[in-house]
Chain A
Amino acid sequence: MRTRLAWFAAFALAAAMAADQAANPAADQTTLDRGKKVEQTTCLPCHSLRLIHSQRLPRATWDRELTKMAGWGWSAKPEDRAALLEFLAANYGDDKPAAPPDKSADGRK
């Protein structure tokens, strides 16, 4: 019984990893880390990251959003743009559960 469970666990882990790889073959951890850094350095000057992290979009839509932002003054080297797209698709894709809403603190005096 234990062996069967262990096999099942191993299979589940492998399947999850394979699914991630299939959806996103190029996204190694280095790329994702780079994407995250690009987000923090190039998106933050104009708006908070909440605006991004509250959305769940298909990769093609994130790609179009980056093009739209480039038209509005966002600039990044091609490798940085690619890394950011991987980061967004891996973390904020439309296959991910909806973001739990953030709540502001009471601002009344």
Chain B
Amino acid sequence: MTPSRREILAALFAASAASQTAASQSPTADDSVAIPGKRPMILHNDRPEDLESFGAYFDAWVTPVDSFFVRQHIPRPAPIDPASYKLTINGMVSAPKDVSLADLKALPQFTVPATLECTGNGRAFYTPKVPGIQWKRGAVGNAEWQGPRLSDVLKLAGMSEAAAFVEIDGADTPVAQTPDFVRSMPMKKAMHPATILALKMNGDTPQIHGFPARLVVPGWDGTSWVKWVTRLTPQAKESGGFFMNPGYRIPRIPLPPGTPARPAELEVIEGMPVKSSIMLPEDGTKFAVGPIPVRGIAWAGEEAIERVDISFDGGSRWQAATLSPQKLHFAWRLWHVDWKPDGPGYYTILSRATDSAGRVQPFVPAWNPSGYLWNGIDRIGVTVEAKA
């Protein structure tokens, strides 16, 4: 019997479907999960919450709380009653003590505008693929953080001058035998006047972002910004524990892509690199001929953004983008270009930032086994079509 065309198509479909069952096998794919207080977000994980912001949300210098990305390692703690909140300060101090929220509010309050970026933002762009949340561009936000300086908080218990590090623990607790989220920081950064124990974010106290009290470590990776802080311990040495070692370390000596880490050559991530991202248009968008707004963000860890250059021809010619006015260390700058394409065609658009220390965003960031610190020159492609 000669098969009909329908049978042939069915066979071809079966052949292609045989290797494409993955998407349909996610039992959660059709669930509608709403995260209280958040706009629709890219949902990497809903328990605990790992939420990425859409490119369209990056239209304001201060990212509203409802659009701000979320990264939880372990489930967040039950909401903390501000009246019963206690911060324990112990270790190398003359007078260990528990401090209340009122005590923290009685200290001089400072407002620090600073960009917070997940250490793994951009992990999805690394080749070969590495395990971890496959963030693209949106695990970053810029907020106005307010609270006392960490140095003033530590003085409340009479910190010893011999302490070289401070260990920070939050109220979140592990599940099964996952490690607790505990970090430490060198005293030099802890004493920096811009390092604060934030009691507010854009004037609000969102529990999902670590309030009533979270650390703000301007210019350093998100992992350093411990949430729901309940203990500070000045000490002589760096802390151990998974989230200090091997977690959140990168090779001191660059490795060929795909190579396993050499534990003895890993070092703790501190300040973040220079970076820019193209937030609009979205990669793959099609336009009719006409002006196209192109915009994004640029930030540089502890440095300030000096300039952002954009190319619309894959990197042959570059032009300076217009930057938002505030040129601050620790905080991002928005950039934009009103682009008028020459005519129809496919365009590769690139963005490249330069910072106040002269660092320039690289073509190829150093590969690392955990996919941290992606800061490659950003790249999207768009198609401009002739008007019908």
A interface vs B, CB < 8 Å? 2-3, 5-6, 9-10, 12-13, 15-17, 19-20, 36, 40, 45-51, 53-58, 61, 64-65, 71-74, 90-92, 94, 96-109
Contact = CB atoms under 8 A, between A and B. Distances in A.
A66 B131 CA distance: 11
A73 B180 CA distance: 13
16 contacts: A2-B3, A9-B12, A13-B18, A16-B16, A49-B27, A50-B45, A51-B45, A57-B131, A72-B177, A90-B21, A91-B22, A96-B20, A97-B22, A104-B46, A105-B33, A105-B40
Nearest to A75: B176
Interface in B344-386: none
A9 B15 contact: yes
B11 A102 contact: no
A50 B133 CA distance: 10
B8 A50 contact: no
B38 A108 contact: yes
Given A106-B39, A108-B37, 17 more contacts: A2-B2, A3-B2, A6-B2, A6-B7, A9-B12, A13-B15, A16-B18, A50-B28, A50-B44, A73-B178, A74-B176, A92-B22, A99-B22, A102-B44, A104-B34, A104-B46, A107-B34
Given A9-B12, A106-B34, A101 B42 contact: yes
Contacts of A51: 44-45, 50, 133
Nearest 6 Cβ contacts at the A-B interface: A73-B176, A73-B177, A9-B11, A105-B34, A107-B34, A102-B43
Chain B contact-residue range equals 35 or more
Contact of B175 (A13, A17, A46): A46
Contacts of B129: 55-58, 61, 94
B53 to A, nearest CB: 11
B267 interface: no
Contact of B177 (A17, A20, A71): A71
Name the residue in B18, B25, B40 with the highest tally of chain A Cβ atoms < 10 Å from its Cβ: B25
Name the residue in A58, A61, A107 with the highest tally of chain B Cβ atoms < 10 Å from its Cβ: A107
B134 interface: yes
A45 B23 contact: no
A37 to B, nearest CB: 11
Interface in B123-139: 124, 128-134
